[in-house]
Amino acid sequence: MNRIEGRVKVTGLATYAAEYPVEDVTYAFPVQSQIAKGRVRHVDAQDALAMPGVLAVLSGEDPPPLASGADGELALFQSREVAYRGQIVAAVVADTYENARAAAAVVRVDYDSDDHDVSLRADHPGLYKPDHVNPAYPTDSEKGDIEAGLAEAATVVDVVYETPVLHNNPMEPHAALACWDDEGGLLVYDTAQGTTLSRDTLAQVFGLPKERVRVVSRHVGGGFGSKGTTRPQAVLAAMAARVVGRPVKIVLTRQQMFDVTGYRTPTIQRLRLGADAQGRLTALEHVAYEQTSTLEEFAEQTATPTRIMYATPALRTAHRLVRLDVATPSWMRAPGECPGMYALESAMDELAYALGMDPVELRVVNEPETEPDSGLPFSSRNLVGCLREGARRFGWEHRDPTPGVRRDGEWLIGTGVAASTYPARRRPSKARAVVEDDGDFLVQVAAADIGTGARTALTRIAAEALGVAPERVHVELGDSDLPEAPVAGGSMGTASWGSAIVRACEELKSDGKEGLADTTEEVRGDAAFSRHAFGAQFVEVRVSSVTGEVRVPRLLGVFAAGRIVDPKLARSQFIGGMTMGMGMGLMEETLTDEEFGGFLRRDLAQYHVPACADVPDVEAVWLDERDAELNPMASKGIGEIGIVGTAAAIGNAVYHATGHRVRELPITPDKILMPRF
């Protein structure tokens, strides 16, 4: 199917959070901290209040009240403590955006500054073991004797990989438009990946019953996780609207988004792998070191994919966290799996070379019968099928395994492979299906379409469940007043919302007038199997021996992700994920300013992402997999698995091309040329 909302998007008729027509609207602009740690001594708003159109200046001098449920990044102005450079410490509300921004520039904030620490190190004295890692995984896991397994191994690899701070950078900036009614009810048009969760959070922050809060997000221009939880702009808009008694709109600048909308934590990952002469693992250890803020804890689940990938008698994974004077990290496409599989799949490639073994065959030899960590049976797996099909399509059999030998003039040519995985989750969801007066069908669910084509996929699911043409089904989403739904994240949206829609449509067919569904009880039975999507990425790179430039002429992904609901939408998601993985491998990096705190490279002129010219041939295919254990559609989520293995495959290909292993992302020309000097 073509995207249902495609026409309104390309004609500019789709309404995003900052575009709703609201009368008497005003504008807020935040003032950000210029220190990384300390306290706000005084906010002088006198000059700002004297400027044209200014209605109010919000700060800790007279903090607008919030409920006790407000904490962390959302407790705006409730404390004078500064936790990181860029934290919102004041805000100006004015009649126009320009007036608000101009006035914010003259607000004077005096600080008492403290020494700060913004550097992640594997030997940091502040490292600790968190209670759990995102979303609720055990922090550590261990089976067998790691040291004994390494001692008996014919070959051992002991390596450390590093990934930098990465930022989500959706096309639509984070924005909110808040309005209070005469009865104290709150309406917020927000850039939210989940209106139900956003409603619940705002209700908690402002001490309101849920039924007094409504969040609307009809169209969302990307998120990649950064809009998965409520961000400060939504709280600030609602707070300011209550202060000035008028609707307030706020749109964060790209630079502000780098500071206050989350990011992927940097990681330092040590892996130790032992294998016998046939390549079978005897031990596998994966320890990840990460950062969080002093405001709240976020522990990314970086080492958890290692728990389900390869058969080994000894397996240990661990996460260690340190609180630094930085903003709080958060979800970014495939949190955990993305950086974790980069390290694991790079280490597997190193092991293959150390053994003198083909990297595809090493993975096949270590294919487990059940999940290595839990022992649960896989609902379906098919990783070997992805590796075999990818190798066939890519022409892997013609590959010379020797690094650094293929050349075309100045260009060194190499190929690499890596495996991918991502959990096949679903969460409780509700849905409603009714027959309209004209005989068409209306399906309602508080889902979010963040650019993935959710409207289209859900329309197709409903049409199949009802046995009617898709043109007769109208899906309404993006409003917290609709039946409750989980966020568009964790590759669980279609599985969760679609399950509820199928059940609602089944009930409608039985009732004849209305179908209501709640899949809470159904989802509780999902723990009997290990449920994951799998895939394999194959990459060809060309590396300039003169400049160190890396080009990617070919990128192929093969996936086993259950039944594909819509091929056109699926290909778009897979290719988007792989393109983003290419950016992670070669370009993307946010530098931390160790002297002053905060982030450097705070816009898209400096934070580079792939453009069309960077990906001349990227292709995604999938195996025909029907997994009846998953959900009524037999589908698995596909929004994130495309990114997971790509950076590792690129790094492995760069090694094959050059004979030089880069273990710190991104792989930039200076790191390619470094061994010469």
Amino acid in position 626: R
Looking at the structure, do residues 188 and 151 belong to the same domain, yes or no?
Answer: no
Amino acid in position 185: G
pLDDT band at 615 (very low <50, low <70, confident <90, very high): confident
User: Residue 4 domain-assigned?
Assistant: no
The DSSP bridge partners found for residue 59 are 90
User: Residue 617 domain-assigned?
Assistant: yes
State how far the Cα of 76 lies from the Cα of 89, in Å rounded to an integer.
7
Count structural domains, the chain.
4
State how far the Cα of 580 lies from the Cα of 587, in Å rounded to an integer.
10
Looking at the structure, do residues 459 and 561 belong to the same domain, yes or no?
Answer: no
Q: Is the pLDDT of residue 250 over 60?
A: yes
Closest CA to 529 of 624, 383, 425: 425
Confirm if 497 and 485 have CB atoms less than 8 A apart: yes
Structure tokens at 59: 């700060």
pLDDT score at 590: 97
pLDDT score at 149: 98
**Which CATH number fits the domain that encloses residue 482?**
3.30.365.10
Looking at the structure, do residues 207 and 324 belong to the same domain, yes or no?
Answer: no
Looking at the structure, do residues 335 and 213 belong to the same domain, yes or no?
Answer: no
pLDDT score at 475: 98
Mean pLDDT across 196-201: 98
Q: Active-site residues: which are they?
A: 640
Tens-place pLDDT, residues 361-415:
999 999 999 999 999 999 999 999 999 999 999 999 999 999 999 999 999 999 9
Residue % of the chain over a pLDDT of 90: 96
Looking at the structure, do residues 239 and 195 belong to the same domain, yes or no?
Answer: yes
Rounded to 5°, angle at Cα 232 from 226 and 238: 130
User: Residue 1 domain-assigned?
Assistant: no
Looking at the structure, do residues 292 and 414 belong to the same domain, yes or no?
Answer: no
pLDDT band at 69 (very low <50, low <70, confident <90, very high): confident
Q: Dihedral (C-alpha) 150, 154, 160, 163: value to the nearest 10 degrees?
A: -110
Q: Which of 260, 277, 310 is the last residue of a domain?
A: 260
Q: Which of 260, 284, 315 is the last residue of a domain?
A: 260
Average pLDDT, the chain: 97
Q: Which of 343, 361, 377 is the last residue of a domain?
A: 377
The least confident of 162-176, 334-348, 608-622 is 608-622
State how far the Cα of 613 lies from the Cα of 619, in Å rounded to an integer.
15
pLDDT score at 148: 98
User: Residue 94 domain-assigned?
Assistant: yes
Tens-place pLDDT, residues 121-149:
999 999 999 999 999 999 999 999 999 99
Structure tokens at 627: 């997994």
Measured from the Cβ of residue 409, the count of other Cβ atoms closer than 10 Å reads 9
Q: Taking each helix axis as running N to C, give the angle between helix 493-511 and helix 454-466, from 0 to 180 degrees, rounded to the nearest 10.
A: 30
pLDDT score at 676: 62
Tens-place pLDDT, residues 417-435:
999 999 999 999 999 999 9
Supply the range of the domain harboring residue 242: 26-115+169-260
Looking at the structure, do residues 100 and 241 belong to the same domain, yes or no?
Answer: yes
Looking at the structure, do residues 137 and 217 belong to the same domain, yes or no?
Answer: no
Cβ burial of 481 (10 Å; 0-12, 13-18, 19+) is middle
Looking at the structure, do residues 355 and 392 belong to the same domain, yes or no?
Answer: no
Looking at the structure, do residues 302 and 414 belong to the same domain, yes or no?
Answer: no
pLDDT score at 628: 85
State how far the Cα of 502 lies from the Cα of 494, in Å rounded to an integer.
11
pLDDT score at 504: 98
User: Residue 11 domain-assigned?
Assistant: no
Structure tokens at 155: 């070959």
User: Residue 357 domain-assigned?
Assistant: yes
Looking at the structure, do residues 650 and 579 belong to the same domain, yes or no?
Answer: yes
User: Residue 504 domain-assigned?
Assistant: yes
Q: Is the pLDDT of residue 237 over 90?
A: yes
Looking at the structure, do residues 404 and 487 belong to the same domain, yes or no?
Answer: no
